[in-house]
Structure 1
Amino acid sequence: MTTPTTPRIALVTGASRGLGRSTALKLAAGGVDVILTYKDNEAQAQAAVREIEAAGRRAVALQLDVGDSGSFGAFADRVKAVLASRWQRGHFDYLVNNAGVGVFAPFAQTSEAQFDLLVNVHLKGTFFLTQALLPLIEDGGRIVNTSSGLARFTFPGYAAYAAMKGGIEVLTRYLAKELGARGISVNTIAPGAIETDFGGGAVRDNPQLNAQLAGVTSMGRVGLPDDIGEAVATLLADGNRWMTGQRIEVSGGMML
């Protein structure tokens, strides 16, 4: 296990933008080094690395397509190599499965290709990436999976997306049970509506939709990326060592 003088290391998928970027920056602000992944935009990822380094922490950006499970073995080898070269360690402490893609389609019009994309990225990707990285996670480490408020409340057009997130919540409980012997806690964070470019940026860019969602949220507004980044960083703080197998919704009280 990591000693008190050893810097903690988090691996955050999809951390070049949005919720993942905020999570990486908030973890760095709390003294955690970061391995972040990106799919396409290396420039954005390197900008996040520079911001983390400016905060006094170490960071590395690695390319990863979480929808391509065939690449996970090679990715795990790259993580192992960068841990050895940059940190002189064989393990990291925290895995945040954040990367995702949004698809809006009514149930009757959802295509098999759309369904398969969501399965591969959200459910299969989280399952097999965690499996591939498990030997590199410290005993006593933490895993945070990303669900959605849509697994609890419903909005037409998100049946397939929400079904994947429901699967993530069940998977989280099973991982918490099976990894408990190693002292690894596993929890789910479930964001509500957030102003990002996710799903085409509709919540951020459509004033009517933004106001509609704010109107069904107890706190009177939609969320911001830092609302989620701060929540994940808090969940990974030392005071939450005894929490596992839980779903934590961070939605400002949507649809209560």
Structure 2
Amino acid sequence: MTDLTGKTALVTGSSRGIGRSTAQRLARDGALVAVHSGTDTSGIDETIDSITREGGRAFAVVAELGVPGDADVLAEGVEKVLADHSDRRELDILVNNAGILSTMPPEMVTPADFDRVMAVNAKAPFFIVQRFLPLIPRGGRIVNISTGLTRFANPQEIPHAMAKAALEMITLHFARHLGLRGITVNTVAPGVVDNGDPFLQAPELRRLLGGLSVFEQLGEPEYIADVVAFLASSEARWVTGAWIDATGGTLLGQQL
């Protein structure tokens, strides 16, 4: 366990899956966590309930990403709660986890499909970082959740992989930009994770996708949350601009 007592954190897209596990883990480590979703308010409530049952602290922020003004709506929601319920206005940990998929043959991708994926997965995180920078203190942490698909090919996910590759550039360049402020910026790249989607429950598909990992199993959301928790901690003070492979060895000679 890392010690995040007294810290505040925002995890975008934390109503389910990796985001939920990350919010739970950061709260378990002592942080006050802003749990975010664009529309899934019931999922937000479930995440917060799970945190408070364990004695943690969390609050809800609803803001649709990928639309004009999204970063401002998100930041204003966080700022309001911190002003009302915390003795600090600072945000110590920002986890850009929210994202959408675009699984389809590349011949079927429309300009609208492409623009939507880029808006949520790349444009929104850039302006979220920009908007929150005045609130992030020295020693702050930014963690961007990417994908192993930026390192190997799956033609069904070209726009998604392109957008996540852009997200990785946010990591690289902001890490350099914020170094003198002692703020670290890193990327975590999951592989196939069992996030509860019904289509992942088919035994044959689970066997096929699990076989992409050297461990021959699907990842669990908490595996990714554990990596994020390390990067959010003081122990990771000398790690910045890094791309952390959390694919379970999917990149070790495997192919889709």
TM-score between both structures, scaled by the size of structure 2: 0.92
Q: Which moves more between the two structures, 28-37 or 208-217?
A: 208-217
Counterpart for residue 86 of structure 1: 85
Structure 2 vs 1, CA of residues 69 and 136 (structure 1 numbering), >3 Å: closer, same or farther?
farther
How many residue pairs match? The answer is 250
Please state how far the C-alpha of 1:201 moved relative to its aligned partner: 4.5
1:241 aligns with 2:240: no
Please show how residues 17-28 of structure 1 align to structure 2 within 5 Å: 17-28=16-27
- 8 Å CA contact 2:151, 2:251 repeated in 1: no
Q: Distance in 2 between matches of 1:77 and 1:59?
A: 16
CA distance in 2, matches of 1:158, 1:169: 16
Alpha-carbon distance in 1 for matches of 2:177, 2:128: 16
Mapped contact 1:83–1:90 kept (Cα < 8 A): yes
The within-5 A match list for 1:59-208 is 59-197=58-196, 201-202=198-199, 204-208=200-204
Matched position secondary structure for 2:162 = helix
Partner SS state of residue 189, structure 1: strand
Gaps of 5+ in 2: none
Conservation of the 8 A alpha-carbon contact between 2:141 and 2:231: no
| Structure 2 counterpart SS, 1:248 | strand
SS for the counterpart of 2:69 is helix
Aligned to 1:36, what secondary structure does the other structure show? strand
Contact 1:147/1:169 (<8 A) preserved? yes
Please state how far the C-alpha of 1:33 moved relative to its aligned partner.
Answer: 1.5
Q: Report how far residue 90 of structure 1 moved.
A: 1.5
Would you identify which runs of 4 or more consecutive aligned residues in structure 1 move more than 3 Å? none
Task: Summarize the Cα distance change of 1:146–1:92 in structure 2 as closer, same or farther, 3 Å threshold.
Answer: same
Given the superposition, is the C-alpha separation of residues 201 and 186 from structure 1 closer, same or farther in structure 2, using an over 3 Å criterion?
A: farther
Q: Is the 8 A contact 2:12 2:19 kept in 1?
A: yes
Write the distance in 2 (CA, Å) between the matches of 1:90 and 1:43: 27
Whole-Å separation in 2 of the counterparts to 1:205 and 1:196: 10
Write the letter of the residue equivalent to 1:248: I
Q: CA deviation at 1:9?
A: 1.0
Matched residues in 2 for 1:83 and 1:123: separation? 26
How far apart in 2 are the matches of 1:138 and 1:69?
Answer: 26
Does the aligned pair in 2 maintain the 1:148–1:190 contact within 8 Å?
Answer: yes
Q: CA RMSD in A?
A: 1.7
State whether residues 148 and 251 of structure 2, in contact with CA within 8 Å, keep that contact through their aligned partners in structure 1.
no
SS across alignment from 1:51: helix
> Matched residues in 2 for 1:128 and 1:55: separation?
33
Out of 223, 226, 230, the position equivalent to 2:222 is: 226
Give the alignment's TM-score, normalised by structure 1. Answer: 0.92
Provide the rounded CA distance (Å) in 1 between the counterparts of 2:167 and 2:131.
17
Contact 2:4–2:30 (Cα < 8 Å) also in 1: no
2-side partners of 1:156 and 1:7: how far apart?
Answer: 44
1:212 corresponds to 2:200:
no
Amino acid at match of 1:220: E
8 Å Cα contact 1:73/1:132 also seen in 2: yes
Deviates more, 1:146-155 or 1:60-69: 60-69
CA distance in 1, matches of 2:185, 2:247: 20
Q: Which runs of 5+ in 1 are unaligned?
A: none
Q: Residues 69 and 249 of structure 1: is their aligned pair in 2 closer, same or farther, counting only changes over 3 Å?
A: farther
C-alpha distance in structure 1 between counterparts of 2:40 and 2:108, whole Å:
30
Q: For 1:157, what is the secondary structure of its paired residue?
A: helix
Deviation, 1:5, is 9.7
Identify if the C-alpha distance between structure 1 residues 77 and 255 changes in structure 2 by more than 3 Å, giving closer, same or farther: closer
Between the aligned partners of 2:12 and 2:164, the Cα distance in structure 1 is 16
Calculate percent identity across the aligned residue pairs. Answer: 39
